[in-house]
Copies of this chain bind each other. A is one copy, B any other.
Amino acid sequence: MWFLTVFPVLLLAIHLPNIKSEWHGDAGPWVIATEGEVWPRPARNWTFDEFYLLRYSNFQILYDGYCDITLRAIHRYTHIIFAHTRSARKVNKNKPKKNFSNDPAFKGFIKTLNIEGPTSDCKDLLPTLYADEHYVLNINRTGDEATLSSETTWGILRGLETFSQLLTPSGSGAYLKIRRQVIIDGPRLPHRGLLLDTSRHYLPLADIRLTLDAMSYNKLNVLHWHIVDDNSFPYQSETYPNLSKEGAYHSSMVYSIANINDIIQYARLRGIWVIPEFDTPGHTRSWGNAYPELLTTCYNSTGQPNGRLGPIDPTKDSVYSFISTLFTEVVQVFPGSYLHLGGDEVPFSCWASNPDIIKYMDSQKLGRNFAKLEEQYIHKVLDIVSALNTTAIVWQEVFDNGVSLPNSTIVHVWTGSWKTELSKITAAGHPVLLSACWYLDHTAEGGDWKKFYVCDPMDFPGFNTSRLMLGGEACMWGEFVDKNNIHPRIWPRASAAAERLWSEFADDLDTAARRLEEHACRMNRRGIPAQPPNGSGFCVV
């Protein structure tokens, strides 16, 4: 983070020109989109009144290196700039040509963006939690070129995204416009995630890829893949193929390991890390289609099995060898050494009904304290995961139920008084993730992104004495979304969380609304069906 010491005294200077967007006429009372404002807001930005033009046919991104991530990103952003050029031509259709040479603010054409970043082959490079993402973007150092510098490939990715967001239609033909400015940027928090749930509804691979595209446009860096749950088991294990054969909704609705590798690679090229969740001991109904012996047989009040299966049966040794074998495969499939173990919403009633479990608890002198039984289970699973050199993430109930956890275990807060939770958990020495205020399935009428935007993940007692706040995730639980409505449900609502996780400072809501109006249109232009955030208006794509 060398540049933070180079420019220590410069102040934040976001510039919001008070002009109407090219994309909006004069008629209505709608929210006027900004032009060329970056979402999420960069850490530091010095903007000048001068501007440059960019002509697609006379512009290139120069990079003298071999890293496939950077090379592929340059290809993508070149295409994005081309599409923007085409859209600008549509926006400016039938408008008279401007003579920019009479404009004293016009400083010439930008012909190159120079990438100054890592140049070596990076085929083994994977996104990780504490990877540096800082970058400096300088427009314009010499008059016809811009420079993007970073010590890391991830910083180059973030900077390319920022550069592409600074461009706007010039108001004349297919020229794009960019203001002279210097941006020094890096994330507020290292873990900025989106949860996708492919158990309640299956999501085709194309929709996961589209989601990864959109995540990169919002500088999100973690896909939390809630891949299996009660409802279906689409993960196609090679060790236990019957899990998906019996547990998936349909034979066409599975993710093979080859599919998952493709997704991980697609994500890696966008600086996104994929963390899988295999939630146990609850939320495992679909596991029982092929392996009912893993689950607890529930009994009715007269001591007979009632035909239902409950959570995983923690009293059976065979359960742990099954989980150990399965997780050994899972951590090989999903690189990055993190695994979300779930642990939420474990119903104790089925355990309490089962005579074998009661007998076991008596033998262990656990009384009727089922939280202790859960603790035994979690401890054994944590040991399995630890032996696999993998860090565990658990939902907050595991902590709330008093299960003792090693300090390295990350606790994920999703409900209740989240500020209190974050305080308690960090005070106990655990890293934390916040999702409680970013549940995308909680919808409200109108532009409900504001409720997500006002949530500050650093606003809890003790945050300033702790570096244990890792970040958070917007959660798109899958009960009421499938490929038909998931994209507009996520975007741009998750963008609100993305900004609070990336940007040190939030805007007032009116300013954020204008910026989000531009950002939603930007996503539309790039093929993401983001919904209108602010009411009436339009977007020429």
Contacts and interface: CB of A to CB of B under 8 A. Distances in A.
Interface of A: 23-30, 90-91, 93-94, 199-202, 230-233, 247-253, 285-286, 289, 441-447, 478-485, 487-489, 524, 529-532, 535-540
A27 B93 contact: no
- When all copies of this chain in the complex are counted, the total is 2
Main secondary structure of the interface of A (DSSP, over half): loop
B530 A484 contact: yes
A444 B442 CA distance: 9
Contact of A27 (B27, B231, B488): B231
Contact of A247 (B27, B232, B482): B27
Contacts of A488: 484-485, 488
5 contacts: A25-B249, A27-B233, A90-B252, A249-B537, A481-B531
B487 A484 contact: yes
A20 to B, nearest CB: 13
Contact of A202 (B248, B535, B538): B538
B532 A93 contact: no
Given A27-B289, A252-B93, A479 B536 contact: yes
B484 A94 contact: no
A480 B253 contact: no
Contacts of A482: 531-532, 538-539
Contacts of A199: 536
Contacts of A524: 484
Contacts of A30: 231
A171 to B, nearest CB: 14
B480 A286 contact: no
Given A446-B479, A482-B532, A485-B529, A230 B540 contact: no
Contacts of A537: 201, 231, 249
Given A27-B230, A200-B536, A484-B532, 5 more contacts: A201-B537, A443-B445, A482-B532, A482-B538, A485-B532
Given A200-B535, A536-B231, A447 B480 contact: yes
B28 A286 contact: yes
Nearest to A94: B251
A536 B445 contact: no
A501 to B, nearest CB: 24
A228 to B, nearest CB: 11
Nearest to A485: B488
Nearest to A28: B231
A446 B480 contact: yes
Contacts of A479: 446, 532, 535-536
Contacts of A252: 90, 93, 540
A248 to B, nearest CB: 8
Nearest to A487: B484
